[in-house]
């Protein structure tokens, strides 16, 4: 890969991805881009570009001479993916929204025709959770998967990620206990609309998949559960309440920056944990960009384009803990 454009490249995930790309692909030119680069803190070794990916002409200009795009913003992503794949530019997307990924899946023929690869489910969840799920399913032969996600409420999550989480409150019902690695232990998770549970049945041939979320502190998890009650969810959807919450949640950090994801399928269990989920997502993205030359053209999810154990083992070498036998 010679030139990689990171859209949303100075956001919380984009910065981590750009930093990891510079170290994984030292010969590549990495450009971080967004609508207002004056907001950007410099990422060493990268170039900076002003691009509004929602503006087709602006996007077309930005794609000139680019080999791969890493999408770390959420807008009309299928349109951005189409613009890339039409030009034979590879495309990776960290989105956790099922409707976004479903729109890009439809571009498979276009990608093949232009010898380009699009990788979806790039990150921690979806991403690492998809690989853990494939590993557990292959070990156990089970056709039902449960995924548990524990996020640190103290990590500096980007406004787009916080907004995505607020949108998901109250979308799904159901809670169940999941065993997380130390120091967390057994926690109740509350079903949350992460995309992995919608795409895994097709890619792994499952009957069902469910993904639940909890936060590192039991108090904030209790608030998360309460926020799913219809009356509270209605209140939170009011624009004024939402704006206040969004500002508060991006500035005030209650809890730590640890994370853990855990998967259960039949008798098989596996987990991945560490600190700073944005860093895990950025590193996953960079490792996938580095593997693009080995991938076939077309649109695929992470579990369809890499082998779980070697990929997760290499990712874990960056200071994370992988347990494939919990
Ligand atoms: N797969 C995973 O595990 C995982 C983990 C965490 C987050 N995510 C997803 O990653 C995405 C980013 O999250 P984040 O925490 O990094 O959010 P963030 O800090 O708010 O970053 C979003 C970035 O996108 C840029 N942007 C927004 N609209 C744009 C446009 N029209 N054109 C170009 N750039 C634009 C913003 O800069 P400007 O405003 O200056 O344009 C900003 O730099 C979210 O969709 C989130 O759900 C996925």
Domain edges within the chain:
3-123+279-319, 125-276
Q: Cα of 74 to ligand 1 centre, how many Å?
A: 6
What is the model's pLDDT at position 23? 94
Structure-token pair, residue 204: 């792994």
Q: Cα of 263 to ligand 1 centre, how many Å?
A: 26
Region 236-244: what's the mean pLDDT? 68
Helix (H, G, I), strand (E, B) or coil at 145: strand
Probe residue for ligand 1, chosen from 43, 72, 130, 257 as the CB with the greatest number of ligand atoms within 8 Å: 72
The angle formed by the CA atoms of residues 310, 306 and 129, to the nearest 5 degrees, is 80
185-191 and 208-215 strand pairing: antiparallel
Helix (H, G, I), strand (E, B) or coil at 147: strand
Q: Cα of 169 to ligand 1 centre, how many Å?
A: 19
For residue 13, give the ligand 1 atom closest to its CA. 16
Q: Cα of 161 to ligand 1 centre, how many Å?
A: 7
Region 125-148: what's the mean pLDDT? 97
Residue 253 pLDDT grade (very low, low, confident, very high; cuts 50, 70, 90) = low
Specify the higher pLDDT residue, 115 or 190.
Answer: 115
CB-side exposure of 92: number of CA atoms within 13 Å? 32
Lowest-pLDDT choice from 45-49, 175-179, 231-235: 231-235
State phi, psi for 20 to the nearest 5 degrees: -70, -35
Probe residue for ligand 1, chosen from 5, 6, 7, 8 as the CB with the greatest number of ligand atoms within 8 Å: 8
What is the model's pLDDT at position 291? 97
Lowest-pLDDT choice from 97-101, 188-192, 244-248: 244-248
Specify the higher pLDDT residue, 27 or 238.
Answer: 27
* Contact residues of ligand 1, CB 6 A cut-off: 7-8, 10-14, 34-36, 39, 51-54, 72-75, 94-96, 123-127, 157-161, 164, 278, 281
Q: Cα of 73 to ligand 1 centre, how many Å?
A: 3
Tell me: the pLDDT tens digits for 59-90?
Answer: 999 999 999 999 999 999 999 999 999 999 99
CATH class for the domain made up of 3-123+279-319: alpha beta
Q: Cα of 76 to ligand 1 centre, how many Å?
A: 12
What is the model's pLDDT at position 248? 59
CATH number assigned to the domain covering 125-276: 3.30.360.10
Region 163-187: what's the mean pLDDT? 86
CA 196 – CA 133 distance, rounded (Å): 9
Helix (H, G, I), strand (E, B) or coil at 25: coil
Lowest-pLDDT choice from 38-47, 103-112, 174-183, 211-220: 211-220
pTM to 2 decimal places? 0.93
What is the model's pLDDT at position 249? 62
Q: Is the distance from CB of 98 to CB of 195 less than 8 angstroms?
A: yes
DSSP secondary structure string, 190-234?
EE---THHHHHHHHHT-SEEEEEEEESSHHHHHHHHHTTSHHHHH
Probe residue for ligand 1, chosen from 34, 97, 249, 303 as the CB with the greatest number of ligand atoms within 8 Å: 34
Ligand 1, atom 37, lies closest to the CA of: 34
Q: Cα of 11 to ligand 1 centre, how many Å?
A: 5
Residue 254 pLDDT grade (very low, low, confident, very high; cuts 50, 70, 90) = low
The angle formed by the CA atoms of residues 272, 15 and 112, to the nearest 5 degrees, is 75
């Amino acid at each position: 890969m010679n030139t990689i454009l990171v859209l949303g490249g100075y956001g919380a995930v984009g910065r981590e991805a750009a930093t990891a790309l510079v170290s994984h692909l030292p010969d590549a030119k990495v450009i971080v881009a967004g609508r207002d680069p004056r907001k950007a803190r410099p990422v060493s070794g990268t170039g900076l570009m002003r691009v509004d990916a929602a503006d087709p002409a602006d996007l077309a200009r930005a794609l000139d001479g680019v080999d791969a795009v890493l999408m770390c913003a959420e807008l009309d992503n299928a349109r951005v993916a189409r613009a890339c794949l039409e030009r034979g530019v590879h495309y990776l997307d960290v989105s956790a929204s099922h409707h976004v990924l479903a729109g890009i899946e439809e571009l498979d023929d276009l990608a093949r025709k232009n010898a380009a690869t699009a990788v979806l489910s790039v990150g921690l969840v979806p991403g690492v959770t998809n690989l853990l799920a494939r590993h557990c399913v292959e070990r156990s032969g089970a056709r039902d998967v449960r995924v548990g996600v524990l996020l640190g409420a103290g990590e500096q999550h980007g406004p787009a990620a916080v907004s995505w989480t607020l949108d998901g409150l109250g979308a799904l019902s159901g809670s169940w206990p999941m065993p997380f690695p130390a120091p967390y232990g057994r926690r109740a998770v509350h079903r949350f609309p992460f995309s992995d549970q919608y795409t895994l049945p097709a890619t792994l041939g499952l009957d069902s998949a469910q993904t639940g979320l909890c936060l590192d502190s039991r108090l904030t998890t209790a608030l998360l559960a309460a926020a799913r009650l219809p009356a509270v969810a209605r209140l939170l959807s009011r624009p004024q309440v939402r704006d206040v919450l969004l500002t508060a949640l991006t500035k005030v950090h209650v809890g730590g920056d640890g994370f853990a994801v855990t998967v259960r399928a039949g008798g098989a269990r596996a987990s991945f944990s560490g600190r700073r989920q944005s860093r895990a997502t950025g590193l996953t993205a960079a490792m996938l960009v580095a593997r693009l030359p080995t991938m076939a053209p077309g649109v695929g999810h992470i579990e369809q384009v890499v082998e779980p154990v070697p990929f997760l083992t290499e990712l874990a070498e960056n200071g994370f803990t992988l347990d494939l036998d919990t």
